Structure 1
Amino acid sequence: METQTIPSGLGSRVQEISQSVAGAIALAALGVVAGFVSALGINPLFAILETGWALFGELLQNYIVQPGFGLVAAGYVWWCDDYNPLDRIQVPSLEGVAWIGLGAVGYELAVRVVTLMLPLFGLSHGGHDGQMIPTWRIFFDHPDIIVPGLVVMFVFMAPMEELLYRGVIHNALEPALGSLGRVLVGGLLFGGMHIFLSGGLISLLFTSIFGVLAAAGYERTENLIVPIMAHAGYWLMFSPF
């Protein structure tokens, strides 16, 4: 009986894709572990700050995992010394600005549409019940935290998360996958992370949508500022305080 073999070219291609995806999954998993460690280490510090500056400390409680992401991204850059994602930070073009808007506003619209469809599948989501106050409204009512709040979101936390998931994980997929593959796999890995850090299939679904939008904007513009601004912009405009 003749044994069928995989052509060497196809076999090497499959191996390249498998290694690339496995590397990206490993980085995402390491990010989850680092996020948990960051939460354990930083949450008490933010709680101490909350006793002296209650509202700002409460804001910081929303961003206890991002420092862990930043450490993983920094470790990757150190290990892979021929690549620096900071080289892909630049002033956005008009197209980049459009992608920023699509990432933030488009994601919110997608969440609202999908939320309406969830009961058809016996699911529900209470994140848009009108009871939660968006961050921008808190800033408007409490001007003393506007500057530190914006710095936390736009300068530190969103960049650390996007450096890992777009700057590092997306880059790890570049050698083996085309544009569509990088966007879909990177977006799903971003969503998969939230199963462990946020919990539930609904979180996976919603955050995967944002992950795909952010990855598409980054893929199209090759500018890390685009997903960073979209991410922080969503937190500011729509995320509950």
Structure 2
Amino acid sequence: MPTTAQEDPPRDDPDLVQVADPNQRLQSLTHALLLVAGAFLAAGVVQQFGLLALDGLGLTEESAPLLTQLVPMALHFATFILVGTSYLLWRNDRGLVPFRFPTSHDVRWILLGFAVLVASLVTLEFVLSQLGLEPAQNTSVEIGNDQPELFLYYIPLVILLNAPGEELLFRGVVQGVLRTSYGVIPGIIGAAVIFGAVHYVALVGTGSRIAYVLVAFVSGLVLGALHEYTENLLVPVSVHACWNVVIYLNLYVGATNLL
């Protein structure tokens, strides 16, 4: 694997699969699950305070429909960043989540990773369609279908908060914690399972929730593998952001009948 930049502390290089002390493995799994649960709980509380603040300013769903959708979303992912960063500071282990400004090598892996992610998800959705399974929709997509301009506003949020927040929490902290006790491969799979599972609660409509969870799981595998190989969190962040930007642009075009 490429080495991290000199300013980053060296990261332990665990085996692909390793057998750690049972207590250590239980502790790592507990930390991972509590981190995710805590992040979602904290995000929910922060979102409510945000909505109360907007209401206090006279900005309601009727008078400011865009703000009342965008502010909670922004606060949600900003809280993920806060929780992930706080855990790293508490653990005092910056090497757990290596990152650096992307090098030319990283840029190549961003492009390749994006291509692999697209190919993987297109293949998966084809298989699901052959099985008669249509993934359910994310809540943000359902809302955006009624207010298509939201899809355009989602784009900067994805780049600045959504992708960094989810990647820091799931690929960075959760995968990093699991890696230290279970090894690289179980760490990737475990983080992807958790990533897929948490998307279950954000789905609406009549589509298959399990199908959507599988899509999120496969995305997590690709992004997790990219993080492990490049040892740079900004690589999966960039791939994640690019994918979501393409999705939202496509949804905007479809909702507004531009083509």
Whether TM-score is above 0.5 comes out as yes
**Matches for 1:161-200 after TM superposition, within 5 Å:** 161-198=166-203, 200=209
CA displacement, residues 24-71 of structure 1 (integer Å, 9 cap, x when unaligned):
122122222223224333456689498788668766665552122122
CA displacement, residues 172-212 of structure 1 (integer Å, 9 cap, x when unaligned):
11211222111100100111111234364333222112111
Match of 2:135 in 1: 125
| Runs (5+) with no aligned partner, structure 1 | 1-9
TM-score, normalisation: structure 2: 0.67
**Matches for 1:61-80 after TM superposition, within 5 Å:** 63=74, 65-80=76-91
CA displacement, residues 122-175 of structure 1 (integer Å, 9 cap, x when unaligned):
x54355xxx99x99xx78xx9xx97x7654221222112211111111111121
Percentage identity across aligned positions? 21
| 2:15 pairs with 1:16 | no
**Matches for 1:118-157 after TM superposition, within 5 Å:** 118-119=131-132, 123-125=133-135, 127=137, 150-157=155-162
Alignment partners' CA distance in 2, 1:53 and 1:108:
35
In the TM superposition, what is the alpha-carbon distance from 1:224 to its structure 2 partner?
A: 0.9
Distance verdict in 2 for CA 1:114–1:33, change over 3 Å: farther
Alignment partners' CA distance in 2, 1:11 and 1:164:
24
| 2:222 pairs with 1:213 | yes
Does the 8 A contact of 1:118 with 1:125 survive in 2?
no
Q: Paired residues, what number?
A: 219
CA displacement, residues 53-94 of structure 1 (integer Å, 9 cap, x when unaligned):
866876666555212212211220221123266751331242
State which of 112, 119, 124 in structure 2 corresponds to 1:106. Answer: 119
Alignment partners' CA distance in 2, 1:46 and 1:106:
41
TM-score, normalisation: structure 1: 0.72
CA RMSD of aligned residues (A): 3.7
Alignment partners' CA distance in 2, 1:21 and 1:52:
44
Q: List structure 1 segments (4+ residues) > 4 angstroms apart after TM superposition.
A: 43-47, 49-64, 84-87
Does the 8 A contact of 2:116 with 2:222 survive in 1?
yes
Match of 2:129 in 1: 116
Does the 8 A contact of 2:200 with 2:210 survive in 1?
yes
Alignment partners' CA distance in 1, 2:184 and 2:97:
20
Distance verdict in 2 for CA 1:49–1:209, change over 3 Å: farther
Match of 1:237 in 2: 246
Match of 2:43 in 1: 35
